[in-house]
Amino acid sequence: MVETNTAILKRKHRRFMTGNNPRYAVLVPGADSLTFEEDQAEAARRNIEVRELTLPRFSGHPIDDRKAHFDAVANLFVDTIETIRDEEPGARIAAVGRNNGGGQLAWALARKIAVNAVVLVGAIPEISLYRKQSDSASAVKFRESLANEAEFARIDEMRPLDIIFSAKQWPITNCLMQFGHNDPYIDRTAIDATASLAERFRIEWLDDDHAMVSQESLQQRWDYIDEVLKAI
């Protein structure tokens, strides 16, 4: 694809503002209707270019087709990172995953794809256990989608997709995980899972809800991204 004069000028301006190595953030949205509008604005304020993924909708069997969906998102994420690296070989890249997108981002990073910083926002660390045990409406809805008790027993087959497992394969330790005290999706199972994650990553609990867009939450994650990318 031929680069337009406008695109060239924008790229040169980015380099002027951020040095020889421009900064990017790849955003992986969740399965709900929440947007990254506030994050987009915060990134722009800090001269960080954003690439937000448009994810394929999940369809099929709730267990049998789950891994294929995660793989499809991982392929999209890897393609996006590789495109940035092709365009800007020295780019410094952060990745942000919100809610279910956090789990999908964690799965993608297990492919050893190189990014410089990771932020998971309101992502359930052990979603297979959440779906199996939680009284939350979304967990109950998931169990109701299963055909019988035999399928309920198969929920554990999705454990490799849990963040606490996929994160063990990451080549990166620059990771901030944010959780809201008032997020109804973050229950006892999530609190217990963060103990092992805290051994490698930064864990922060904030006075926030499922959206995680309070000024405190936004500033904390973008300060973190800013700090890590500037240090490279």
Q: pLDDT digit string (tens) for 53-77?
A: 999 999 999 999 999 999 999 999 9
Nearest in space to 104 (alpha carbons), one of 15, 194, 24, 26: 26
**What single-letter amino acid sits at 89?**
P
Pairing of strands 92-98, 49-52: unpaired
Instruction: Report, at the CATH architecture level, how domain 20-230 is classified.
Output: 3-Layer(aba) Sandwich (3.40)
The more confident residue out of 208 and 17 is 208
Half-sphere exposure for 90 (CA within 13 Å, toward CB): 10
Are 194 and 133 in contact, with CB atoms under 8 Å apart? Answer: no
Half-sphere exposure for 231 (CA within 13 Å, toward CB): 10
Position 6 confidence tier, pLDDT thresholds 50, 70, 90: low
**What single-letter amino acid sits at 157?**
E
Q: Any idea where the domains of the chain sit in the sequence?
A: 20-230
Sheet holding 23-28, edge to edge: 49-52, 23-28, 92-98, 117-121, 175-180, 202-206
Are 206 and 212 in contact, with CB atoms under 8 Å apart? Answer: yes
Tokens (6 digits) for 189: 């199972």
Are 175 and 120 in contact, with CB atoms under 8 Å apart? Answer: yes
* 157: three-class secondary structure by DSSP: helix
Position 10 confidence tier, pLDDT thresholds 50, 70, 90: low
Q: pLDDT digit string (tens) for 81-139?
A: 999 999 999 999 999 999 999 999 999 999 999 899 999 999 999 999 999 999 988 99
User: Once rounded to an integer, what is the mean pLDDT over residues 24-46?
Assistant: 94
Find the radius of gyration of the CA atoms of the chain.
18
Those residues with Cβ within 8 angstroms of residue 163's Cβ, 6 or more apart along the chain or in another chain: 102, 103, 106, 120, 123, 124, 125, 126, 127, 193, 197
Q: Cα angle at 191 between 31 and 124, to 5 degrees? A: 15
Q: What stretches of the chain adopt beta strand conformation (E)?
A: 23-28, 49-52, 92-98, 117-121, 175-180, 202-206
Pairing of strands 49-52, 175-180: unpaired
